[in-house]
A = this chain, B = another copy of it.
Amino acid sequence: MSTKATFYHAGCPVCVAAEQMVAEGLDRSKFDVEVVHLGLHISRIAEAERVGVRSVPALVIGGQPFHINHGADLAALKA
Contact = CB atoms under 8 A, between A and B. Distances in A.
Interface of A: 5, 17-18, 21-22, 25-28, 30-31, 59, 61-62, 64-70
Interface on chain A toward B: helix, strand, loop, or mixed SS? strand
Task: Give the copy number.
Answer: 2
Contacts of A70: 67
A78 B23 CA distance: 31
B69 A67 contact: yes
B68 A21 contact: no
Given A17-B64, A27-B28, 5 more contacts: A18-B66, A21-B61, A25-B30, A26-B27, A67-B68
Contacts of A21: 61-62, 64, 66
